[in-house]
Amino acid sequence: MPNTRPSEKRPAIRREWTEARRVVIKIGSALLVDRPTGRLRATWLNSLADDVAQLTEAGRQVVLVSSGAIALGRHILGLPRTPLELEQSQAAAAVGQISLAHAYQDVFRQRGLIAAQILLTLGDTEERRRYLNARRTIDTILTHGAIPVVNEN
C-alpha cells in the first residue's frame, strides 16, 4: 500500500501479493483529497501510481476502486462542508469525476500505463446481466494492460 508520507522508505510488496494474479486497491476520499483545501493530494497520487506501476511490472493486474469525486467537485463548485442535498452531491460528483479521471490518466501515463474509467451504479452489481457485463468489461480492460479505476455513482 502507498504510504501517506512519500518521504518515508517504501515497504516491499506484501508477501501475500506475490502470488496474487489480481490486486484490488480501495482508495478513500481522505487519501485523495486534502480536506482543508479540497484539492487533490498530487504527491500521494504519484506515490500510488508508483506502487501500481511496481505491481504491474511484477505481473499483477491492478484494479483501483476510487472515491473522491464528490470531495473534489465540492471544492470546485464552492459547495459548503455541511451535508449536501442529493442533487448537490450528484452535481459535485459530476464535476469532480472529470478532474479525478484526468488526474489518474496523467499519473499513469507518466509511467507508461493506461487508465480506464469504470462508473457503476448499485444496479450494475445487483442485476446479474449487468454485473456480468461489468465484469467482462473489467476483464477485457485488464487483458489489454490498462488499469480500471472503478467509481460507484
Q: Is residue 61 within a helix (H) or strand (E), and if so which, with residue range?
A: strand 61-66
Query: Where in the chain are the domains?
Result: 18-152
Question: Cell 510488496 belongs to which residue?
Answer: 13
Distance of alpha carbon 106 from alpha carbon 109, whole angstroms: 5
β-pairing, 39-40 with 33-34? antiparallel
Q: For 21-75, write each residue's pLDDT tens digit.
A: 999 999 999 999 999 999 999 999 999 999 999 999 999 999 999 999 999 999 9
Given a cut of 50, is residue 2 above it in pLDDT?
no
The count of other CB atoms within 10 Å of the CB of residue 139 is: 13
Instruction: For residue 22, list its beta bridge partners.
Output: 61
Q: Band of the pLDDT at 20, cuts 50, 70, 90? A: confident
In this structure, which topology does domain 18-152 adopt according to CATH?
Carbamate kinase (3.40.1160)
> Where is pLDDT greater, at 78 or 5?
78
Q: For 67-121, write each residue's pLDDT tens digit.
A: 999 999 999 999 998 999 999 999 999 999 999 999 999 999 999 999 999 999 9
Q: For 125-153, write each residue's pLDDT tens digit.
A: 999 999 999 999 999 999 999 999 999 87
Instruction: Tell me the pTM.
Output: 0.86
